[in-house]
């Protein structure tokens, strides 16, 4: 890494004082965050961000051998989260809920492969109780003791607390006792109450989402955080969202990674209203959101690019815009593919290595806690027996 940013080469003069602050490791203000969103000097923004990322991570880029599992798409908020294409009402076409045995069967994909993480999220099912999820976590840990369990968004935790008539703390404690490693960062969307009133009026509020993560951090459960961008939010809404994540991280230090998520408009009410299909964001916006996240969230160790949403190729470029982490092998991705994502559902392990090396970076396979587990790739590990582009496994109706 060169020791300084060549400020004179930044085309947008508003970036000059920000570059000085980045070099001095000084915290950016909300106004500076909004200025970053409004710049058209994308390469200048990338220069700042790459500097900040290299200072932290050098040329290392993390990835994980993971498998996504979605036990149910039945969700009581199906008709009010207008950006969601995944959820179904219990009797609706396409609704499914898996038995524990079906989940365990799907997880057998991981056997004999390097898989180290199950990423488990789903809908807010009106009848699946806490015991289903603790049995699921326990069963997976018994069958795959080397695999970490990253499970249930803050929204799902709060839903379970509600139907169990208990606290979110008790739900988290029960899940931790069953073998939970960490929480994913979904459900945050954008914290602004005005935005939520438009896109997710009955979902957990921003304050409630932050409260669940605070409690998780207090219990020693690390979590991820996200922001869904590219719908009705403004640059100011985005920065206010990032500010709240940064403030919680100042207090707890419990966030592992920040993942900006690009809204996809297919098969959802919001997309119909916007008259958009396929993709709602551009590569330019995707890179900007990654870069601003890296610069503004100066206290969150990692920033991840989610290749199922922005494509593996843009994710590769994102490695020069502040990302030090790439979403993993995934195996079955339903949530964004229901919303029109055109990417494959699975990225083979060695393709991730190739992608990272192709960007001139050093791949590091990690576990859920960002501990390095493999840095040499001469002896390739086995892949899950997944047919590329293959159909989703059969599931029972809800």
Q: What is the contact surface with ligand SF4 in residues (CB under 6 A)?
A: 75, 77-78, 81, 84, 86-87, 123-124, 155, 203
- What residues does 265 pair with on adjacent strands? none
Rounded to a whole number of angstroms, the minimum distance from the CB of residue 221 to ligand SF4 is 20
Rounded to a whole number of angstroms, the minimum distance from the CB of residue 201 to ligand SF4 is 10
Rounded to a whole number of angstroms, the minimum distance from the CB of residue 155 to ligand SF4 is 5
Half-sphere exposure of 129 (CA within 13 A, CB side): 4
Q: Is 156 helix (H, G, I), strand (E, B) or coil?
A: helix
Rounded to a whole number of angstroms, the minimum distance from the CB of residue 298 to ligand SF4 is 29
* CB closer to ligand SF4 out of 68 and 203: 203
Letter string b/e over residues 271-283, b meaning 16 or more CB atoms within 10 A of that residue's CB: beebebeebbbeb
Rounded to a whole number of angstroms, the minimum distance from the CB of residue 74 to ligand SF4 is 9
- Name the strand (E) or helix (H) holding 22: helix 15-23
* CB closer to ligand SF4 out of 121 and 292: 121
* CB closer to ligand SF4 out of 44 and 184: 184
Angle between helices 206-218 and 235-252 (to 10 degrees): 20
* CB closer to ligand SF4 out of 369 and 392: 392
DSSP character at residue 52: H
Whose tokens are 């929480």? That residue is 183
CA angle in degrees (0–180, nearest 5) for 258-217-187:
50
Q: Are 310 and 265 in contact (CB under 8 A)?
A: no
* CB closer to ligand SF4 out of 199 and 216: 199
Give 371's contacts (C-beta < 8 A, 6+ positions apart): none
Other CB atoms within 10 A of residue 308 CB: 25
Rounded to a whole number of angstroms, the minimum distance from the CB of residue 120 to ligand SF4 is 13
* CB closer to ligand SF4 out of 126 and 278: 126
* CB closer to ligand SF4 out of 202 and 362: 202
Q: Are 363 and 345 in contact (CB under 8 A)?
A: no
Beta 148-151 vs 223-229: how paired, if at all?
Answer: unpaired
Rounded to a whole number of angstroms, the minimum distance from the CB of residue 124 to ligand SF4 is 5
């Amino acid at each position: 890494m060169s020791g300084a940013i060549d400020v004179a080469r930044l085309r947008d003069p508003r970036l000059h004082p920000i570059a000085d602050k980045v070099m001095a490791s000084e915290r950016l203000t909300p106004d500076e965050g909004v200025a970053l969103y409004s710049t058209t000097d994308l390469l200048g923004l990338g220069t700042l961000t790459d500097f900040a990322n290299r200072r932290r991570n050098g040329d290392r880029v993390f990835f994980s051998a993971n498998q996504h599992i979605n036990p149910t798409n039945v969700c009581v908020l199906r008709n009010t989260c207008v950006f969601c294409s995944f959820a179904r009402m219990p009797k609706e076409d396409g609704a499914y809920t898996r038995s524990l045995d079906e989940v365990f069967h799907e997880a057998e994909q991981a056997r004999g492969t390097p898989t180290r993480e199950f990423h488990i999220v789903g809908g807010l099912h009106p009848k699946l109780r806490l015991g289903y999820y603790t049995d699921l976590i326990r069963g997976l840990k018994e069958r795959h003791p080397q695999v970490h369990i990253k499970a249930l968004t803050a929204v799902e935790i709060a839903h379970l607390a509600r139907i169990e008539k208990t606290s979110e703390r008790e739900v988290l404690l029960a899940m931790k006792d069953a073998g939970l490693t960490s929480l994913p960062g979904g459900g945050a969307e954008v914290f602004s109450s005005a935005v939520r009133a438009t896109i997710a009026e009955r979902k957990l509020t921003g304050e409630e989402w932050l409260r669940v993560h605070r409690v998780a951090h207090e219990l020693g459960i690390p979590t991820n955080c996200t922001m869904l961008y590219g719908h009705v939010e403004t640059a100011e809404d985005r920065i206010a969202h990032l500010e709240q994540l940064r403030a919680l991280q100042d207090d707890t230090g419990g966030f592992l990674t920040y993942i900006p998520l690009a809204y996809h408009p297919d098969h959802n009410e919001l997309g119909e209203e916007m008259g958009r299909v396929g993709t709602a964001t551009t590569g330019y916006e995707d890179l900007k959101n990654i870069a601003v996240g890296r610069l503004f969230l100066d206290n969150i160790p990692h920033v991840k690019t989610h290749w199922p949403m922005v494509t593996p190729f843009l994710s590769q470029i994102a490695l020069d815009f502040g990302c030090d982490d790439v979403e993993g092998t995934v195996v079955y991705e339903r949530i964004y593919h229901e919303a029109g994502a055109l990417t494959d559902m699975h990225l083979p392990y060695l393709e991730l290595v190739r992608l990272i090396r192709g960007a001139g970076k050093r791949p590091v396979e990690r576990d859920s806690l960002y501990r390095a587990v493999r840095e040499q790739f001469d002896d390739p590990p086995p892949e899950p027996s997944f047919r590329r582009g293959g159909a989703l496994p059969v599931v029972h109706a809800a």
